[in-house]
Amino acid sequence: MPSDNLMIHKSSEPDAETKIAVVGCGGMGCNALRSAKFPKGVQTIAIGTERREIKGTGADVEMLIDVRDAEAVAKSEFSKFASTKVENEIGFLVKDVDIVFPIAGLGGNSGGWTASLVSKVAHMNKCLAVSIVTVPFTAEGKMRKARSTKQLEALRSWSDAVIPLKNDLIIREVPDLPMLKAFGVMNSVVRTPIEKFGWFGSRGLMDLKKHFRQNHIFRMDAAGYHGDNAVFGLMEQFKSSNWLSLDMLEPKSAVVFIEDYGADEKLAHEFMQAFGQAVGHDVPAVVCLRDIKTMSRDVNACLLVGF
């Protein structure tokens, strides 16, 4: 694979210089913050249109906004230039931040739009906006589905990258759990990339920005493998993953996080080679390698595929 197709970053610790803010938007977004443990230094902000949503999230900042501010995104008054009072307030909170993660459940009246609002502010502050959102259950009906599609469309133009996770997959992955527990599983999936992106140093962020320009929508899954032929084992897991559905994707780019004892660049090359074979062509990628400094034979990977 030509080296300009593959950017590799090595780290042993989350880069303390990389400042991260997680913004829970609306009911689902705020739920994802509840009882969540984020790496030290991650700033958490809960934004809702109802007090009960933001209450008890444990967020560093709770912000109540008017539902009309969120809904403005859907209408022509949402502008690329002028910023509203609420955008200025959010801007004040994220002004020194490198990466903002808006989290929301698409399909409702506020969170899905608020995520675009937050992404716009992130842009104005030159920070990276990676939105992580859930797509409503099919059973929730056509109206939610239609709204969710519009919200995703808006997010596509305001966020650097969007990771949509289908709530329907909860039913497939954990069919026997009661709904509240199943939501908990999903909310922990939502939090996975937030921890990983913290490994990127400032140079890595520049590469990511360039990389995200090629793609906006990413699917994601994380896997672990114990023992020899780890790359092969991991790739088999990714190939059969419901979350990724590699066979249904036409991958255009990838962001990969690999944790291994003594992780080296060879592993990154092997991984991308195996990935290229799985999907039938080379895929430009940014790979972050993390040396986990334990003697265990576990290799963990988190794969984001842009399509």
Ligand X SMILES: Nc1nc2c(ncn2[C@@H]2O[C@H](COP(=O)(O)OP(=O)(O)OP(=O)(O)O)[C@@H](O)[C@H]2O)c(=O)[nH]1
List residues near ligand X by CB under 6 A.
26-28, 31, 105, 107-112, 134, 136-137, 140, 144, 167, 183, 186-187
Q: Does residue 107 belong to the site contacting Mg ion (CB under 5 A)?
A: no
Interface with Mg ion: number of residues (CB under 5 A): 2
On whether the CB atoms of residues 82 and 74 are closer than 8 A, the answer is: no
Nearer to ligand X, 82 or 180 (CB): 180
Beta carbon of residue 270, minimum distance to ligand X (angstroms, whole number) = 34
Residue 144: contacted member of ligand X, Mg ion, none (CB under 5 to 8 Å, by partner type): ligand X
Residue 134: contacted member of ligand X, Mg ion, none (CB under 5 to 8 Å, by partner type): ligand X
Residue 131: contacted member of ligand X, Mg ion, none (CB under 5 to 8 Å, by partner type): none
Nearer to ligand X, 36 or 256 (CB): 36
Listed residue (88, 92, 90) closest to 102, CA to CA: 90
Tell me the two tokens of residue 304: 């984001």
Beta carbon of residue 281, minimum distance to ligand X (angstroms, whole number) = 33
Beta carbon of residue 50, minimum distance to ligand X (angstroms, whole number) = 7
Nearer to ligand X, 31 or 241 (CB): 31
Nearer to Mg ion, 27 or 204 (CB): 27
Beta carbon of residue 90, minimum distance to ligand X (angstroms, whole number) = 16
DSSP 60: S
In angstroms, the CA 178 to CA 166 distance is 17
Q: What's the farthest any 2 CA atoms get from each other in the chain? A: 57
Query: CA 8, 10, 13 angle in degrees (round to 5)?
Result: 145
Nearer to ligand X, 165 or 285 (CB): 165
Beta carbon of residue 187, minimum distance to ligand X (angstroms, whole number) = 6
Tell me the two tokens of residue 157: 């133009």
> Does residue 77 sit in helix, strand or coil?
coil
In angstroms, the CA 77 to CA 84 distance is 10
Q: How many CB atoms lie within 10 A of CB 90?
A: 29
Residue 183: contacted member of Mg ion, ligand X, none (CB under 5 to 8 Å, by partner type): ligand X
Site string for Mg ion, 11-40 (x = CB under 5 A): ---------------xx-------------
Pairing verdict, β 43-48 and 128-135: unpaired
Helix segments in 104-250, DSSP class H: 111-124, 142-158, 168-173, 179-197, 202-212, 230-239
| Residue ranges binding Mg ion (CB under 5 A) | 26-27
